[in-house]
Amino acid sequence: MGKETTKLIANNKKAYHDYFIDATYEAGISLAGTEVKSVRMGKCSIKEAFIKVEKGEVYVYGMHISPYEKGNIFNKDPLRVRKLLLHRFEIHKINGKLAEKGYTMVPLRVYLKGSLVKVEIGLARGKKLYDKRQDIAKKDQRREAEKEFKVKNLY
């Protein structure tokens, strides 16, 4: 079998800022034909999306896939609820963690793996304001160090 390529479609940077990501899972997503074409063109957003487990099945809410231009009557609602495809044992594991206080599921990125559309979902714990401040301070510190390193290497 050949090497499978991955092409990033949408990334959720805000999730890494707002949450500590404890575990990640790769899930397939159930899409209609025109939605797949739209995703291939890169018209997908997961900024406001969240994930729920209902009756042993995993669904993503608030994921926006723009209607396909040539799709006319076959286009679906851009914000409709979409089912994620995971193995049963993964769903049970996730459900057990979500029962604990403070855990939630967020989509981290949408990408093409070969010909399939995949969603990377993360089991996340919310960050407090001081945690966010620490992250911003670390980022600024790293940026300053890189800047100094760059300046030293110029002379």
- CATH 3.30.70.1560 is right for the domain spanning 6-127: no
Task: Output the pLDDT for position 19.
Answer: 83
CA torsion sign, 107 to 111 to 117 to 118? Answer: negative
Contacts of 145 (CB under 8 A, 6+ apart): none
The alpha carbon of residue 17 and the mean position of all alpha carbons in its chain are separated, in whole angstroms, by 13
Give 3-40 pLDDT, tens digit per residue.
Answer: 678 888 888 888 887 888 888 888 888 887 778 888 88
Rg of the chain's alpha carbons, rounded to an integer?
A: 19
- What's the helix, strand, coil split of the chain in %, to 5? 35, 35, 25
Sign (positive or negative) of CA dihedral 107, 109, 112, 113: negative
Cβ contacts of 95 within 8 Å, gap of 6 or more: 53, 56
pLDDT of residue 155: 62
DSSP state of 62: S
* pLDDT for residue 128: 75
| pLDDT of amino acid 127 | 76
How far apart CA 49 and CA 72 sit, in angstroms, is 25
The answer to whether the predicted template modeling score (pTM) of the entire model surpasses 0.85 is no
Q: Give tens-digit pLDDT for 60-118.
A: 888 888 777 776 766 676 778 888 888 998 888 888 888 878 788 888 888 888 888 88
Q: What is the DSSP letter of 138?
A: H
pLDDT of residue 96: 84
Give the separation between CA 66 and CA 76, rounded to whole angstroms: 9
* The amino acid at 115: S
- At 122-154, the pLDDT tens digits run 888 877 777 778 878 888 888 888 877 777 776
Q: Where are the domains of the chain?
A: 6-127
Residue listed under structure tokens 């049963």:
88
